[in-house]
Structure 1
């Protein structure tokens, strides 16, 4: 019984870690994204604005032209924490044909922190 409880806790741990990301550390980690994305304003750059992206339907930022691969992938999906985490780790693996050239964020802590920052940039003083 104790083993099952520990196993269950282990399965839940990664999801709670996402919720516990640090937006201040996320603002620092997000600097790798700033060449192509904004997080604090609704201004598209090479990539779409990520302002308010958590909870937003995939591939629907106004004024941004998405690849066919992204629009096909995004049909009916919303950027929740789990989907963002999967995408941030390996964009080209999740969505074959995406325009995003970035290879991905390797450290789980950086992924969690970036998501925390995207959820609340003001918490990072931004």
Structure 2
């Protein structure tokens, strides 16, 4: 099953392109990483990031920005996530973090989402700091 996430983003009326025009792999991330670290505390019930991060209820999020969905080794993803065809660029992350179940029906992520655009941008900026091993990524 392939989900046309760009159509889904448009269908749920997100204006994320104002935040990150032309968001694509390698696109600069807008947001405040320090504020994102604070918001990320809401995610820590299920996710880890940084040196030594491991999969828990959710996958470790090291290197997640601009990576294919469902690609963290050793994590048991839903079929919806594994087969989504999504790449976690800024646009996709903004949409998913706002309303995970709307963006990707069938995801196992039970979190209701982050309704504030600034919170989502800040979390993405925080996550973008980490490479796949959890080290500070080259900026």
TM-score bin, normalised by smaller chain: 0.7 to 0.9
Query: What's the CA shift for 1:59?
Result: 0.5
Report the equivalent of 2:55. Answer: 44
8 Å CA contact retained: 2:16, 2:91: no
Q: Distance in 1 between matches of 2:35 and 2:63?
A: 18
8 Å CA contact retained: 2:98, 2:115: yes
Q: Distance in 1 between matches of 2:93 and 2:16?
A: 18
1:67 to 51, 61, 78: 78
Structure with bigger helix share is 1
Residues 51-80 of structure 1 show CA distances to partners (whole Å, capped at 9, x for unaligned) of 11001111010000001111121x3x3211
Q: Distance in 2 between matches of 1:25 and 1:101?
A: 23
Q: State the structure with more CA Rg.
A: 1
Query: Considering only aligned residues, what root-mean-square deviation do their CA atoms show, in Å?
Result: 2.1
Q: Which runs of 5+ in 2 are unaligned?
A: 1-14, 22-27
Query: What's the CA shift for 1:21?
Result: 0.2
Report the equivalent of 1:19. Answer: 29
Alignment CA distance shift 1:66-1:12 (3 Å): closer
Residues 68-114 of structure 1 show CA distances to partners (whole Å, capped at 9, x for unaligned) of 111121x3x32111101110000000111110010000100000000
8 Å CA contact retained: 2:16, 2:94: no
Number of equivalent positions: 111
Q: Which runs of 5+ in 1 are unaligned?
A: 1-9
Q: Aligned ranges for residues 1-126 of structure 1 at < 5 Å?
A: 13-15=18-20, 19-40=29-50, 41-73=52-84, 75=85, 77-120=86-129
